[in-house]
Amino acid sequence: MRVTSKGQVTIPQNVRESMGILPAETEIEFLQDENGRWYINKAKTSKKRVSRFRTAHNTGNLTMSTDDIMALTRGESWPSS
């Protein structure tokens, strides 16, 4: 297995599947035993992280109607102004 210039390696698919490692969802940690051997471990997370993009729709406030938006894109004055 090769290491990239950025220090990255690819975890083989069968290892990811057996450990339950999911892209962009799973944190891993590296542990060293008393003999100096290194191990990869699926990190224990107390709270499941949710992507900020999955919850972005909850943050917007509707201040313009569809007609207002269409008028704005056409360069017209806002109908409800």
According to the model, what pLDDT value does residue 66 have?
85
Give the span between the Cα atoms of 31 and 40, in whole angstroms. Answer: 6
Name the band, by pLDDT with cuts 50, 70 and 90, for residue 60: low
Q: What's the whole-model pTM score?
A: 0.49
According to the model, what pLDDT value does residue 78 have?
61
Is the pLDDT at 70 greater than 70? The verdict is: yes
Range 50-66 average pLDDT: 74
Long-range pairs for 25-29: beta carbons < 8 A, 24 or more residues apart: 25/49
pLDDT, tens digit (0-9, with 9 covering 90-100), for 11-51: 999 999 999 999 888 899 999 999 999 999 998 876 666 77
Map out the domains of the chain with their CATH numbers: 1-45 (2.10.260)
